[in-house]
Structure formats: C-alpha cells, structure tokens
Amino acid sequence: MSEMKVHELAKDLGITISDLLAVLKDLGVSAKNGSTVLDSSTADAVREMISLDKGVISQAKTIEVPQSLSVRELADALGVNTAEIQKRLVEMGILASVNQQIGADVAGKVAEKWDYSVKIVAKQEAREKPAKLAPQPKSKHSGKLQPRPPVITVMGHVDHGKTTLLDAIRRTNVTEQEFGGITQHIGAYQVDWKGKKITFLDTPGHAAFTAMRARGASVTDIAVLVVAADDAVMPQTIEAIHHAKAADVPIIVAINKIDKPEANIERTMQQLMEHELMPEEWGGDTIVVKTAAKQGKGIDELLEMILLVAEMADLKAEVSASKVQGSVVEAKVDPRRGPVATVLIQRGTLKIGAAVVAGEAYGKIKAMFDDKGERITKATPSTPVEILGLSEAPQAGDKLESAKDDKEARSIADKRAQEARQERMAATSKITLEDLYKHIQEGVVKKLGVVLKADVQGSEEAVRQSLLKIEHEEVRVDIIHSSVGNINESDILLATASNAIVIGFNVKVAPEAARMAEAEHVEIRTYNVIYELTKDVRGAMAGLLEPVFEEVRLGEAEVRAVFRIPNQGLVAGCYVTDGRVVRNELVRVRRDSEVLFEGKLDSLRHIKDEVKEMAQGYECGIKTEGFNDYQVGDIIEAFSKKQIARAI
C-alpha cells in the first residue's frame, strides 16, 4: 500500500484526526496534523492496533430530547420500533402506551440499550427547531438517506478577511470575468470543489447567526473562524467563538493574512489556545489552516479540511421525503416581485408549485432561483434557493414545511399567527433571577446562564472570576459570553438563544438593546458594586438547589376500632394519645416496630363532623389516602415537613 496522509487514514478507519494522532503517539510516531504523510508500514501498524483493541476509539452517539416525550417520539429518535421501546420499559418496570409521556431520565436509560446518550433541550426548542442536518438513525418510516453537502458559516473579527476569503472561495468555481459580473445575492451559495458541493451561508455577522438560532434554526454544520495573523484574537473573534460554541458546531480556524510582514502565526495560535481552541499541530483537536485569501493561498487546503470534517460527520438527508423541510436564511419584500425568501432546504426536494408554510407566511412556489440568479425547478437538501409566492416575508430562522395544498398551508399559518398573538399577550418572560426556581422545577433551566459585559478589561476579569468562584455541587454559573463594552443587540440575541440573563458592570444599555430585551423578554441587570452583583447571583443559584425538608412531629393516635363505611371503605376509630393530628398533613401507620404506610391524612372526623385537627385526649375517625388495612392497636403518627432555606 502506498503512502497516505493522516486525514486520509482517519477517513479510511472511520475515526477522528485527533484520535488517530493519539494512536500514532502511542506508537511513537511523530505526526503534527492531518496533512502529515505516513508510510505504508505505519498505516498497517495503526490498522493492526485498532483491530486488536476495538475499544481504543469510540464515537459517541447522542439524541436531543425534551424533558418529556412520548414513547413513539423516542422510538423515532432512536430509529427503532415502538414495540422495542415498550419492551425495554417493561424490563424497567414501566408499562406505557405508544403515546404516553416519559421523562428524559427514563428516555436516557432506554437509549443506553442502543448505545445512545441523551441531551436535554427545552421542550419549545425541541418542538420548533427543524432537525439539525447531522447523521441520524433511520426510522422505520423514513425515506432513503443520501449524502448531502455541508453547510458552512464564516465568522470572525471585522477586517480579518471574511469577505475576501469568501470571494476567494467563489473564484474557485467561476472565471474572473464571470465573478465580476455576479450581482445576485441570496444570503447563501454553493461551490463545487473536486466534484463535491459545499454550501456557504453569507450572513452579515454573528448577530444574524445567533438570531437564526434564537428562532430555532440549526442550519450550520461547521463554523469557519477567520483570524488575521497580523492582528490575532480580537473582541469579535472571541464573540464568534462563543456564538459557535453555543450553537454546538465544530470550528475550523483559518489564520488569514499570513503573507503580511507583521504576521505572527505562533502568537495567534497561542491566543486561540486561551479560548480552548488547541491546534492539531500542537496536540489539540482544532483544525487550523493558514491562508492568504488575496493571493488564494491555502484555499484548497481549507476546502479539503471542510470536506474532511463533513465526511467524518457522515451528513445525510432524505431527498425523496414526502414532506419537505427547510429554514429561512433571510427574507424581504421586493417592490417588483413581492415577498422573497432565501431558504436552505434540509429534507426532501422542493419543487415549483409546491404548497408551503414558513412561520406565519404561506403560499405556492411560483418561481425558484439559485445563487447565480438562474431559474431552477427543484432544490435538494443543503441547497440554498430564493423562492417567490409567499403571502408575506417570513423571519430569518422560520421553519419552512410543505403542505398538501393551499388550504392546509393557510390553516397552519393562521394557527401559528394566533398562537404568536397569544404568546405576545401573555408576555411570558424568558428568565428572571426571581423565577429561576420555577424554571428548574419545570426542567427548563439547569444552570444560571450569564452574558457578562463590563466597562474595562480589568473589571471584566474581576467580575468573571468572582462569578466562577461561586461554586456548589448542584448548580453552577455558566458564563456564555463576557467582553468589554456597553450592552448591545448582539448580547441580547445570544442571551435569547441560550436562555440566559445579561449582567452589566459599570456599563450602559444601548436603547435598541433595551427595546429588543423587552420584546424578547430577556432580563438585564446592571451593577456598580461587585458585592451586590455576586449577592444577587448567589440568591438566584440558591433558587436552583433541590429543596431540603425537615420533619416536624405533631402527635400520635392509637387505633381503638375499625369501621367499614358504605362507599368510603375502612375508617380507623382512634384516640389521640399525644400532641395533635391534623387533616391534610402527613401520617405514618406503625404496627409494632414496622412502618406499614406513609402518606396524607385524607379525612378527620369527630363524631359526624369533618374537623381540621384533633388534640390529645379526644376520639376521632381517621381515613388516609391509599391505606385501609387498619388493625386495633396500630399507631398513627402525625407529622409535617418544613422546607429548610438553603444558601450558597
């Protein structure tokens, strides 16, 4: 067998580059990154090592579930028959119909049988967002899954060369003359490199990227982070990293402008490490490509790495699915053409004449155009397309779905519009410090997410460290993003997408950010004293703690007789020997030293009257919820549980 590169061998073995580099290190082979060339004997040694130890490398499989879901929904997510799920539940002692709801913890235990772990997402998010185009198990009723192009978003600091890099990539597909004549802009486009297509989202910035995610659209497979070698990591670079990590997508770093005399690649890579992006050639798992976009240097390698990551993810979608799904990238109202929307198809094939609904908009596809402005008749998964025929312009991130006909599309859109009006009237807040405990009980919040802004770098670091020092085994502060400057719209969008609060220290809130926060129901807290800030955060975290209760003894009663009352069952005739017994409080039935029952005292009567409580020395009739096996001589111990305040 001839020589091959590390990334080629990784693809051949079906493992990640970082895992392969680790195996090579164990074999004593020096390999810096995915481009390192291996001789045939080394490749054979790696294959032998992996075949001898199948457990060396494992690829985790994860499904996203809400706090509760039906048995049928879990079966679809795992790609197995509902009967298999029910069989597994029976083994766990749970009888459930296909439509019965089960908790995420139970779903996690069921999923383990098929080697899956579960990631809990908010119920609304799980309901609204279209499935991210990533490898998923094939369900019994799904169409044939076929490979699809990856969807890429290019991010980074202003003036670091994002636009130049995208232009250089587009030039790989057209001649210079053709490139100069391209005026069509639909917010996304495809390139064809070595016979394989790659889709690029040409979003105007990080805010737009997160705005789509805030509305439930997970359309990006890979984020390309552009960092200028002469400028290194800048504030917007950090912001881009946080936005990409919050979206949970792999990051490929393009260190641009390496041709400049003042370029310092090593310093740039060191600063990337500070933000948990360890380059492959330094032993990490972040792919770093060195480019000079104006000269076209490194473009081929970047495209090769994008395709490599995409191949490892095994991106597939249903081309022949009966129901088409997609996400709106951008939309506008053209004076001549009416409502125009750029849509990224995610499942199925969209065709001319199809009835569709996107958010609160609906209609029949009258015309479709590709990224070059040419008319097309159909669009397959990962294809960006501009469509005409909608009743109004939808919003970026809205989910597009096909319908049977115009009537069904309009009905769905009208229902969504009505639900949106009700939500606006209810004005339910995203999250506040005061109601965090309520949210944790509902399973919406598991940690205190914070977007932090401060006046200067020193203050930002001090506040950040103060928040991270607030530790507890049950809850924690999750700083999603922190930077210097006033609170702006981008901060609100990130908080909206991540269900977080915005905390400002010695900063102001931009008027447009305040209006957006009010509209999106995101809480903003500003402080001038660190102590007050940490005090409020500690109080919020205390609300996340599981409640602790203390038992308070009330009294005892002895069963002197047992009566059978028609339509009511058995009632214990008792004499209160100590303290008092109270209706609707808790009781414990003891026979000798054995506890037979613990539950609520349902009914308490004196002669024929229902009473609230009975004191020592009085006779009464006691009936409890779920127990009627009383015997003369049983002791009924009355008690209550008092919640103990917890602090951090």
% of the chain at pLDDT higher than 70: 81
pLDDT of 613: 93
Of residues 433, 427, 419, 442, the one with CA closest to residue 520: 427
pLDDT at residue 183 greater than cutoff 60: no
What pLDDT band is residue 566 in, cutting at 50, 70 and 90? confident
Provide the mean pLDDT of the chain.
80
Q: Report pLDDT digits (tens) over 584-615.
A: 899 999 998 889 999 999 899 998 889 999 99
pLDDT at residue 55 greater than cutoff 50: no
pLDDT at residue 50 greater than cutoff 70: no
480-486 mean pLDDT: 86
Evaluate whether 62-120 and 548-644 have a shared fold.
no
In CATH, the architecture of 325-426 is Beta Barrel (2.40)
Break the chain into its structural domains and give their ranges: 4-52, 62-120, 151-315, 325-426, 436-542, 548-644
pLDDT of 180: 43
User: Alpha-carbon distance 370 to 429, whole Å?
Assistant: 40
- CA geometry: angle at 463 spanning 459 and 469, to 5°? 145
Question: Taking the alpha carbons of 72, 74, 75, 76 in that order, is the dihedral positive or negative?
Answer: positive
Among the residue ranges 21-35, 447-461, 475-489, the one predicted with the least confidence is 21-35
pLDDT of 460: 82
Query: Hey, how many other C-beta atoms are within 10 angstroms of the C-beta on 472?
Result: 15
pLDDT of 575: 96
414-435 mean pLDDT: 61
Q: Report pLDDT digits (tens) over 623-642.
A: 987 888 899 999 999 999 88
User: Alpha-carbon distance 92 to 83, whole Å?
Assistant: 14
State the helix-helix crossing angle for 104-111 and 71-78, rounded to 10 degrees: 40
Q: For domain 151-315, give its CATH number from 3.40.30.10, 3.40.50.300, 1.10.1670.10, 3.10.580.10.
A: 3.40.50.300
| Domain 436-542: CATH superfamily, name plus number | Translation initiation factor IF- 2, domain 3 (3.40.50.10050)
C-alpha dist (Å) from residue 486 to 13, 208, 503:
49, 19, 11
User: Alpha-carbon distance 286 to 511, whole Å?
Assistant: 38
Q: Report pLDDT digits (tens) over 184-193.
A: 455 688 888 8
pLDDT of 149: 93
pLDDT of 3: 77
Q: What is the DSSP string of 75-88?
A: HHHHTS-HHHHHHH
State the helix-helix crossing angle for 40-52 and 17-26, rounded to 10 degrees: 100
CATH class, domain 62-120, is mainly alpha
pLDDT at residue 167 greater than cutoff 60: yes
pLDDT at residue 136 greater than cutoff 50: no
Q: Report pLDDT digits (tens) over 264-305.
A: 999 999 999 888 898 888 878 889 999 998 888 999 999 999
pLDDT of 32: 66
CATH of domain 4-52: 1.10.10.2480
Tokens of 553: 């003894």
Do residues 145 and 320 lie in contact, with contact meaning Cβ atoms separated by under 8 Å?
no
Q: In this structure, what is the dihedral angle of CA atoms 514, 517, 523, 528, given to the nearest 10 degrees?
A: -20
pLDDT of 216: 46
385-412 mean pLDDT: 89
Q: Which helix (H) or strand (E) holds 551?
A: strand 548-565
% of the chain at pLDDT higher than 90: 27
In terms of residues, how long is the chain?
648
pLDDT of 247: 75
pLDDT at residue 57 greater than cutoff 50: no
CATH class, domain 548-644, is mainly beta
pLDDT at residue 124 greater than cutoff 50: no
pLDDT of 431: 54
User: Alpha-carbon distance 14 to 261, whole Å?
Assistant: 40
Among the residue ranges 92-106, 154-168, 200-214, the one predicted with the least confidence is 200-214
Of residues 357, 353, 360, 352, the one with CA closest to residue 377: 352
pTM of the full structure: 0.52
Q: Report pLDDT digits (tens) over 497-519.
A: 778 899 999 899 999 999 999 88
pLDDT of 423: 57
Q: Which residue has the higher pLDDT, 437 or 609?
A: 609
What burial class does residue 3 get, using C-beta atoms within 10 Å of its C-beta: 0-12 exposed, 13-18 middle, 19+ buried? exposed
pLDDT of 323: 86
Q: Which residue has the higher pLDDT, 200 or 20?
A: 200
